[in-house]
Amino acid sequence: MSDLTHLDETGAARMVDVAGKPVTAREAVATGRITMSAEAAAAIRAGSMKKGDVLATARIAGIMAAKKTAELIPLCHPLPLTRVAVDLAPDETGVTVTATAATEGKTGVEMEALTAASVALLTLYDMAKALDKAMVIGDIRLLSKTGGQSGDWAASADRN
């Protein structure tokens, strides 16, 4: 019917059968950004939020989210993650999150990296909303993936 692997020949949603695929080392990197008021950004950088260490909490939330991806996204396979890293780069206008997920398996970890970045960003919003309810979460995207049948891939620099 199409090149979409999560659809069967009739167009119905299905979980992809990965039984015949080889186990390979796979890694994916995703990013996203939350923009906020200068006051909220300064409080995060200073570590002075009343709720505690915002960056550490967001990092742990992202890691936990990656591990729960198959429970959140219906057609994802549960994966034995070998590594999840969530890096947060605060600046004067917000925080950029970069999440890396890795496994040795039969299917990729793009969704785990994207989920980690998304939940880390949502956690930042939750922790800072007392100072700025108008924060904007955006620019969530896959930066790169390695391994698997389709090979390596990287986002082009000119694509928003």
Q: Which residues are catalytic?
A: 126
Question: Taking the mean position of all CA atoms in its chain, how far away is CA 126?
Answer: 17
Instruction: Quote the CA–CA distance of 110 and 93 in Å, as a whole number.
Output: 27
Return the beta strands (E) in the chain as ranges. 24-35, 81-91, 94-105, 136-146, 153-154
Instruction: Quote the CA–CA distance of 118 and 47 in Å, as a whole number.
Output: 21
